Amino acid sequence: MGGPLAGVRVVEMAGLAPVPFGGMLLADLGAEVVRIDRAAAGAGGLTPPPGPLDRGKTRTVADLKNADDVRRVVELASRADVFVEGYRPGVAERLGIGPDVLTAANPRLIYVRLTGWGQQGPLADRAGHDIDYISLVGALDLIGRPGQPPVPPGAFLGDLAGGGMLMALGVTSALYERERSGRGQVLDVAMVDGAALLTTFFHGLRAGGMWSGRRGENLIDGGRACYDCYQAADGKYVAVGALEPQFFAQLIDILGIDATDLPPYLDPAGTQAWRDVLSAAFANKPRDEWAEIFAETDACVAPVLSPWEAHQHPHNRARNSYITVDDLIQPAPAPRFSRTPAAHPEPIDSGELAALLDQWSTPDPAVDGVDR
C-alpha cells in the first residue's frame, strides 16, 4: 500500500469512533493496520461493525480471556510499530496487554492510550462522551444562538478532532522522534485535552477584545449578519462568510441591496437590520441557483450541503475529494503528498491471528533495511 507511512505496522484494539478514526488516518497514509476485535463482547460492550473507519485495515478476532490469544496479541505487538487501545485506565493491564508488558517485549513500540478523560485526574475512571469532554473545556459553550442552550455538534470536536486526529498527530510525532532515539514511548491521548486545544484561537480572540463571551453574539458565531446562514426559496440554506469590506460589498451588489440607509454591517447594533435584509434577499431563489450565481465571486457564499450530496459539488468532484469503497461513497484520504500519495483504500479484510503473526514475522521487502 502506498503513502508516507508505508511499512509502519499498527495494532488497533477495536473500539468506538475515536480509536478507529485515528487508525483510519494512519491506514489512509499507508500504515498496515490490524484491528483486533474482542470475541463475544458482553452486555454493554460496543464493538461496531466494519465500516468506513475500517477501510484499508485487516480485521481479526482475539478472546482476551484466553491466555493463548493474549499471548498472540503480545507477539503481534512485539513486531509492530504502534499499538492503540481505548480502554479506561487499568483495563489493558488487567487484560495482560498493558504498556509495561508490551514495551518490555518491544522497546521501540509506540503505545497509545486514547481515552476521554486521560490517564490521570479525578474523572479518569468515569464514563463520558463527546458532549461531556467538550463541555468541560468550554468548547460546547461557544456553539449556539443567543439565549438558547448550546448545540451539540455531533462528535466532531471531542471524539474525532480532539481524539482520533490528535492521536494520529501524536503517533507520527513519536515515530519521527524514534528515528533519532531508537526508543518507543507511551502516549496519553485524552479527548478532553484535544477539545481544549481546539479552543486556543478563541482564547486569543477574547484576550484581544474580539469575543464578548456571550454565545452567538460574536463575529464568527452568527453574531453578525455577514457571517451566518440564510434560508433560500426551496427551504435549503446558503452560508455567508463575507467578513471583509470588499467581500461584503460584492455580496450586497450581487443581491441588489442599497446600503445607503442601513447601519455599518459590522456594528452589533445593526445586526438585526442587516439580517432582515439578507434574509429577504436570499428567500427569492433556491439554494442551488444562488450557488451558481456566487460560484465565481469573492462574496464568500456557499451552499449548505448535506454530507450525502457533497460529493456531487463540482469543486469536490474536481479534487476527487470523495471516493467509493465497498460501494459506499465517503471522503478521500487527506492531506495529499506529491511523492508518496496515498493509495485508494480497500475494504476491511479479515484474517486469522496466527496467519498475521506468520506474515509479520517475515521482513517486508518494501521496508527492507528498516531497523525495527
In the annotation, is 311 catalytic?
no
Residue 220, number of CB atoms within 10 A of its CB? 16
72 alpha carbon, distance to own chain's centre? 31
Whole-number Å distance between alpha carbons of 283 and 276: 11
Q: Where are the beta strands (DSSP E) in the chain?
A: 9-13, 32-38, 57-62, 82-85, 110-115, 185-190, 227-231, 237-241, 301-303, 322-325, 328-331, 349-350
Residue 35 β-bridge partners: 12, 59
CB distance 64 to 87 below 8 Å: no
Angle between helices 18-28 and 166-181 (to 10 degrees): 60
Given the residues 129, 188, 193, 364, the one annotated as active site: 129
Cell of 220: 464568527
Cell of 115: 481515552
CB distance 78 to 361 below 8 Å: no
Whole-number Å distance between alpha carbons of 371 and 60: 26
Report the chain's C-alpha Rg in angstroms: 24
In the annotation, is 129 catalytic?
yes
Q: What are phi and psi of 24, to 5 degrees?
A: -60, -40
Given the residues 81, 159, 221, 228, the one annotated as active site: 159
Active site residues: 129, 159
